[in-house]
Amino acid sequence: SAVEFGLDAPYEVEYHDSIDSTNRRGRELAGDGREDIVVLADEQTGGRGRLKREWSSPSGGIWLSLLLRPTMPTTHAPLVTMAAAVATAEAVASTGVEPEIKWPNDVLVDGKKVSGILTEMEGEADRISWLVVGIGINANVDIESLPEDRATSLRELCGDVDRREVVQTLLESMSELVADRDRILSAWRARSGTLGRRVSVETPNGEIVGEAVDVESPGALLVDTADGRERVTVGDCEHLRP
């Protein structure tokens, strides 16, 4: 339980020294009818990233998945993922470094990715059945063990951190935001490094280049391009130099 793990967390915690993927385990628990439970691991042997990528998850990181059953339409799921990005940014900030969120939910420090989020979901159009929010934070890991050239770790940025404290901050912030959804977008804006920047977004319908001006519920990015305003709901965003 959370208490055994030394956490006074608002969720039940299931801890693994090593597991294939906390998201895979979260889905399994969803199948068992569970909710409000966090799967936390020191190491993942089959960590999964967005867009079917692998996610390198050596021992020393923070690899967790939160299983929730929020009462909301499936179209609003991006809002929960954005809440997770805000909670993660707050947890990262608590270690003394300055994070920024890159739309929709990467957490960067000095332009390098320190955390990523992968949300999986099941439900009918008007109602989410369950949602597994998987959060990976490169905490006490060597950057040599990370594949992405634009990745960093807390160890690299500020030295090893107390993972218990970071997870505690993250889960508290997450539970507050999920309970008060009207705050999510404004909290996201306050932590965003994307708004006000020139961006290039790779979308299923092609590349969009322009100035990111705002986010709109439930998570679309508004980009002012040479041809007018675009509303982007899915894509890979890159921050361009001003």
Q: Note the residues at the interface with ligand BTN (CB under 6 A).
A: 21-23, 44, 47-50, 53, 55, 57, 63-65, 106, 116-118, 134-136
Instruction: Provide the minimum distance between the beta carbon of 225 and ligand BTN in the complex, in angstroms, as a whole number.
Output: 25
Instruction: Provide the minimum distance between the beta carbon of 9 and ligand BTN in the complex, in angstroms, as a whole number.
Output: 16
- Our CB check for ligand BTN shows the closer of 118 and 157 to be 118
Instruction: Provide the minimum distance between the beta carbon of 169 and ligand BTN in the complex, in angstroms, as a whole number.
Output: 17
Instruction: Provide the minimum distance between the beta carbon of 42 and ligand BTN in the complex, in angstroms, as a whole number.
Output: 12
CB nearest ligand BTN: which residue? 116
Instruction: Provide the minimum distance between the beta carbon of 228 and ligand BTN in the complex, in angstroms, as a whole number.
Output: 30
- Our CB check for ligand BTN shows the closer of 58 and 210 to be 58
Residue 91: closest CA among 150, 48, 136, 47: 136
- Our CB check for ligand BTN shows the closer of 55 and 130 to be 55
- Our CB check for ligand BTN shows the closer of 63 and 210 to be 63
- Our CB check for ligand BTN shows the closer of 64 and 108 to be 64
- Our CB check for ligand BTN shows the closer of 64 and 187 to be 64
- Strand 12-19 versus strand 37-44 pairing type: parallel
To 5 degrees, how large is the angle CA 124–CA 128–CA 134? 125
Distance, CA of 172 to CA of 226 (rounded, Å): 42
The amino acid at residue 200 is S
Instruction: Provide the minimum distance between the beta carbon of 206 and ligand BTN in the complex, in angstroms, as a whole number.
Output: 22
Instruction: Provide the minimum distance between the beta carbon of 107 and ligand BTN in the complex, in angstroms, as a whole number.
Output: 9
The string of DSSP letters for the chain reads -TTTTT---SSEEEEEEEES-HHHHHHHHHHTT--SEEEEEEEESS-B-GGG-B----TTSEEEEEEE--SS-GGGHHHHHHHHHHHHHHHHHTTT---EEETTTEEEETTEEEEEEEEEEEEETTEEEEEEEEEEE--S--GGG---TTB--HHHHHS---HHHHHHHHHHHHHHHHH-GGGHHHHHHHHBSSTTSEEEEEETTEEEEEEEEEEETTTEEEEEETTEEEEE-S-EEEEPP-
- Our CB check for ligand BTN shows the closer of 54 and 180 to be 54
